[in-house]
């Protein structure tokens, strides 16, 4: 007949619960298993270093770190070539070359008289963009022409990137206006007139390292 042995704590004569090759590694009581030492390896892979779980100890798909930027002020451009939106960039240093970076964002804008364009860029490489053709510009989102200059709209960013790097990576938003000197604005209505039927908005960019 099987029995059940119940104890509050398993403990050796030397007041340590578990020893491997003469080294103290852990003790266990009724409520917890506590590891002794700052570095723990399982099957030859370090999972805890300096008392913290390392990236190699996390399962695939785990969020390893999060960075974000929040832009409240406005930005204006009339350039028909892409320019960086000041204050809407964020850097992250992946802990592993196999990690993916999930990029999320919401960019609010107003495009006066004609359309504007927005794209997501990693360092100097455009990502999450369509393939440009002839005169049609490659973009993450096309900021539609607002028939009412009081209008403002929002473009979403949602992209899983694979930078394959352990160096710092910068993600940023760029905008371009239609040729002809049209104005594209970030965080305001198309004309940004000082009236009660106009508003000022905010944009954000979030990057998360995902274990690969």
Query: What is the tens place of the pLDDT at every residue in 79-97?
Result: 999 999 999 999 999 999 9
Structure-token pair, residue 61: 């798909």
Residue 185 has pLDDT above 50, yes or no: yes
Whole-model pTM?
Answer: 0.77
Q: Where are the domains of the chain?
A: 9-57, 63-210
Per-residue pLDDT tens digits for 54-71: 767 788 899 999 999 999
Please answer whether residues 83 and 176 qualify as being in contact, where contact means their C-beta atoms are separated by less than 8 angstroms: yes
Residues 72 and 205: their CA atoms lie apart, in Å, by 12
pLDDT bin (cut points 50, 70, 90) of residue 38 is low
User: 162 vs 2, which has greater pLDDT?
Assistant: 162
Instruction: Render pLDDT for 97-135 as a digit per residue (tens, 0 to 9).
Output: 999 999 999 999 887 666 789 999 999 999 999 998 888
3-class DSSP state of 151 = coil
Q: Which range among 14-18, 36-40, 109-113, 170-174 shows the weakest confidence by mean pLDDT? A: 14-18
Task: Give residue 15's pLDDT.
Answer: 47
The pLDDT value given to residue 20: 47
CB atoms within 10 A of CB 135: 6
Mean pLDDT of 35-48: 66
The encoded tokens of residue 169 equal: 């990576």
Checking phi first, is residue 181 left (phi over 0); if not, alpha (psi -120 to 50) or beta? left
Residue 38, classified by CB atoms within 10 Å of its CB into exposed (0-12), middle (13-18) or buried (19+), is: exposed
Environment class of 191 (CB within 10 Å of its CB; exposed 0-12, middle 13-18, buried 19+)? middle
Query: What's the CATH number for 63-210?
Result: 2.60.120.1340
* Token pair of 42 as six digits: 């399982």
Rounded distance between C-alpha atoms, residue 159 and residue 168, angstroms: 18
- What integer is the mean pLDDT of 11-38? 53
Average pLDDT over the chain, rounded to whole? 82
Decide if pLDDT at 193 tops 70.
yes
Q: Could you report the per-residue pLDDT of 129-177, keeping only the tens digit for each?
A: 999 888 888 999 887 655 555 567 888 999 999 999 999 999 999 999 8
The residue with tokens 């394959």 is 164
Position 19 scores a pLDDT of 46
């Amino acid at each position: 007949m099987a029995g059940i042995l119940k104890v509050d704590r398993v403990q050796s004569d030397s007041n340590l619960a578990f020893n491997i090759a003469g080294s103290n590694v852990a003790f266990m009581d009724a409520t917890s298993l506590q590891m002794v030492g700052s570095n723990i390896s399982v099957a030859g892979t370090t999972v805890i270093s300096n008392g913290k779980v390392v990236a190699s100890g996390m399962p695939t798909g785990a969020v390893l770190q999060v960075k974000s930027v929040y832009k409240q002020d406005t930005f204006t451009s009339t350039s028909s070539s892409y320019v960086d939106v000041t204050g809407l960039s964020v850097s992250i240093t992946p802990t592993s070359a196999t990690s993916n970076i999930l990029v999320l964002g919401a960019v609010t804008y107003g495009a006066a008289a004609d359309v504007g364009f927005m794209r997501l860029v990693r360092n100097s490489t455009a990502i999450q963009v369509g393939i440009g053709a002839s005169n049609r510009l490659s973009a993450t989102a096309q900021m539609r022409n607002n028939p009412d200059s009081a209008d403002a709209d929002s473009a979403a960013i949602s992209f899983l990137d694979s930078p394959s790097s352990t160096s710092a990576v910068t993600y940023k938003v760029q905008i371009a206006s239609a040729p002809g000197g049209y104005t594209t604005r970030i965080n305001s209505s198309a004309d940004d007139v000082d009236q009660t039927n106009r508003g000022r908005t905010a944009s954000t960019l979030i990057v998360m390292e995902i274990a690969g």
